[in-house]
Structure 1
Amino acid sequence: GKSMVLFVYLSAVVPRLVFMLHTLLAVWRVTVVRENPMYWLLLLLILLTLVEMIVTLTIQKGKDYKGFSPALFFYLINIIPSVWLLELYQLDIRIHSSDCSTNSSNKCTHFVHSTDQISYNLSTEEQPVKRPENSSNSIDVVINFLNSTLDWNLSFHQTLLILLIIGKWILPMGVGVNRDQLSQLLLTFVGIAADILEFKSETLSEKEVRCHAELVYAILAIWTWSMLQFPLDLTVLQKTEGQRPHGNTSDRKAHLFKNSADLWNITISVLIQDGPFFIFRLFLMFHQGIVHQMLLFFTIKNALVLTLQFYRLTLIYLEMRQPCKEQQQTTTEVNVSTCATEMDDIVE
């Protein structure tokens, strides 16, 4: 009925509005710390979300696409530049502060080129926010309280992941997606979000890493790459019995069709998340000489996940070969039986 249609439209619009508000907050924070109003131009990226929302409401009637979520994809495009700018600002602050005053930071300072005039506060990583004298006292109190209690960068990372999960939950389901698949996808998202946040926080906790510009760039690049799996619906490719191909389909193709979701999950894990995380952590240990208990634990964890993924891939391959062998054996038995029958006829 009309109420159901209205609910679908609200489910499509409300999460996108929240995504835009979160982007607005991130851009505001960039303009505050960089002290450059030109960064407000980042809000032009919101136009992509607006266009996508109009197209989805008119063509898809608010429903998401199968296997891909443009709303989450454009949300990432909107906010990731602001997160990068905030992280690089923190890098500038650290390099010019006593936190990176040792020789280990000297090799990276020439890679950092600050494009803005920044007043550094050497006592803290966050620069105090300057407010006009005629600004509201209540606004001053709120902002000063947030500056003293919040780690803005970590907060944006955390809220970004939370909004991606809740947003996917509220957004209308894609065509051909049922609630069971959506619940599996959301549970997968929770695990992915925890791994990504842990990777960013744990690697940057090391002084040898957070004071090295090239390593910070690498962490942000891997973080950005890993975030791209959220717009993908990892469980949508899992077909039901009624969706299996009919007709003269080979057993190999039917088996690939059956295990398409597992193959997709293995590819995502190896290429987008656990693979890059594992390689970077090995680089930190063997090339940078950074070894500690937590880094070793998470490296072993990534290695175990990759091993299990390749083990699962091997099982799928062996299962694909088994029907072929059975088919060949059956064909041979039929041929032998046919030949025996023909010989009996000749003898008679």
Structure 2
Amino acid sequence: MRPHHQHRRHSKIATNDGVVVEISSDGHSLLINIARAILARILFIVHSIATIWQAVGVHKDNSVWSFALISVAILIEGGYAVIMRAGDERKWFSASVLLYILATAPPIWMLETEICKWRVEKDGQENRDERKDSIEEMRLQLLEQLLLVVLILNRWLLPKGSSVSREQVSQILLAYLAISSDIVEFFDVFKEKTVYTNVFLQRIVLYVWTLSLLQFPFVLTVSRARKMRLALTNEEVIVDRTKGMWQVIYDVDLWAIVLANSLQGKSYK
């Protein structure tokens, strides 16, 4: 009698970038993979549409709905991922995360700018209903902070494929949690009077905040980054002599580490 695992067949699909994806014929795991990919993109779309809807109501400008077209692009990207890669994300870059940030960050700019205007008006009006303003402000801020929650949740939810181990996934999520805790502090700056009364300072903070979000689409191999930093700290550099100079230049993990570190460094200076 043959072992059970020998009955499991695998099929290979070649993507446009030349990567061969091996897909198990196990229907249960395949359905779970696809379901996770679809659910993650639904969360992206729901939150981005909710943010756009609030921005339209607060900003009184229907042209803001144009950002919903980017949310539609998430559906197209998701369909491509399901058909070509059985829902798996690419090893080093997530297009759905980038599209989500592009669709959601500009409406959040508008919401935060409007909140700053409310604070200026509140300072100039003594008889203003502060309780009502605080509730409205808190509701919009909650919607803004949900962006990071959705990013981290979907980073865990999106299928990673067999190329990324569970240990790497956990380390990546811990790194994103650390980054998110720093990003949250940006919105505390808007409570300072010198900021919410100065449009130029508001734009600078929002620009830096958006720049810091661009770390999320790029997937770091955190364990490798940690080993590299440890090696540099101990003044020990291990070089694989089998790799040529061009192979080092085209090392995706190395460039991902450099990119994330440079973005994080610029954001928190």
> Which band: TM-score by shorter chain?
0.7 to 0.9
User: In structure 1, which of residues 265, 280, 290 is the aligned counterpart of residue 257 of structure 2?
Assistant: 265
The equivalences for 1:13-162 within 5 A come to 13-95=38-120, 97-99=121-123, 123=128, 148=135, 151-162=138-149
Match for 1:22: what amino acid?
H
1:93/1:125 contact within 8 Å kept: no
**In structure 2, C-alpha distance between the alignment counterparts of 1:234 and 1:173, rounded to whole Å:** 12
Output the TM-score relative to the length of structure 2. 0.74
Q: Which runs of 4+ in 1 moved over 4 A?
A: 124-128, 244-248, 259-264
Match for 1:222: what amino acid?
V
1:121/1:127 contact within 8 Å kept: no
Q: Structure 2, unaligned stretches of length 5 or more?
A: 1-25, 226-237
* Aligned-pair CA distance for 1:7: 0.4
The equivalences for 1:224-263 within 5 A come to 224-235=210-221, 238=224, 248-249=242-243
* Aligned-pair CA distance for 1:273: 1.9
- Equivalent residue of 1:66, what SS? coil
- The aligned residue for residue 23 of structure 2 is none
User: In structure 2, which of residues 148, 171, 188 is the aligned counterpart of residue 184 of structure 1?
Assistant: 171
**In structure 1, C-alpha distance between the alignment counterparts of 2:200 and 2:153, rounded to whole Å:** 33
CA deviations on 1:293-332 (whole Å, 9 max, x unpaired) are xxxxxxxxxxxxxxxxxxxxxxxxxxxxxxxxxxxxxxxx
Match for 1:123: what amino acid?
R
Match for 1:235: what amino acid?
T
The structure-2 alpha-carbon separation of the partners of 1:66 and 1:18, relative to structure 1 and needing over 3 Å to count, comes to: same
Match for 2:82: what amino acid?
L
Count of equivalent residues? 231
User: In structure 2, which of residues 187, 190, 201 is the aligned counterpart of residue 215 of structure 1?
Assistant: 201
**In structure 1, C-alpha distance between the alignment counterparts of 2:239 and 2:36, rounded to whole Å:** 33
Q: Look at both structures and tell me which one has the larger radius of gyration over its CA atoms.
A: 1
The equivalences for 1:327-346 within 5 A come to none
Match for 1:194: what amino acid?
S
- The aligned residue for residue 277 of structure 1 is 268
**In structure 1, C-alpha distance between the alignment counterparts of 2:126 and 2:115, rounded to whole Å:** 11
**In structure 2, C-alpha distance between the alignment counterparts of 1:19 and 1:261, rounded to whole Å:** 26
The structure-2 alpha-carbon separation of the partners of 1:121 and 1:64, relative to structure 1 and needing over 3 Å to count, comes to: farther
**In structure 2, C-alpha distance between the alignment counterparts of 1:272 and 1:124, rounded to whole Å:** 41
- Equivalent residue of 2:268, what SS? helix
* Aligned-pair CA distance for 1:84: 1.1
* Aligned-pair CA distance for 1:253: 8.5
1:64/1:175 contact within 8 Å kept: no
The structure-2 alpha-carbon separation of the partners of 1:157 and 1:3, relative to structure 1 and needing over 3 Å to count, comes to: same
Question: RMSD over aligned Cα, in angstroms?
Answer: 3.3
**In structure 2, C-alpha distance between the alignment counterparts of 1:91 and 1:263, rounded to whole Å:** 38
**In structure 2, C-alpha distance between the alignment counterparts of 1:11 and 1:174, rounded to whole Å:** 12
The structure-2 alpha-carbon separation of the partners of 1:160 and 1:93, relative to structure 1 and needing over 3 Å to count, comes to: same
1:157/1:197 contact within 8 Å kept: no
* Aligned-pair CA distance for 1:157: 2.8
1:196/1:223 contact within 8 Å kept: yes
- The aligned residue for residue 318 of structure 1 is none
1:236/1:261 contact within 8 Å kept: no
**In structure 2, C-alpha distance between the alignment counterparts of 1:126 and 1:52, rounded to whole Å:** 43
The structure-2 alpha-carbon separation of the partners of 1:195 and 1:91, relative to structure 1 and needing over 3 Å to count, comes to: same
**In structure 2, C-alpha distance between the alignment counterparts of 1:267 and 1:180, rounded to whole Å:** 22
1:63/1:173 contact within 8 Å kept: yes
Q: Structure 1, unaligned stretches of length 5 or more?
A: 102-119, 129-146, 279-348
Match for 1:87: what amino acid?
E
* Aligned-pair CA distance for 1:25: 1.2
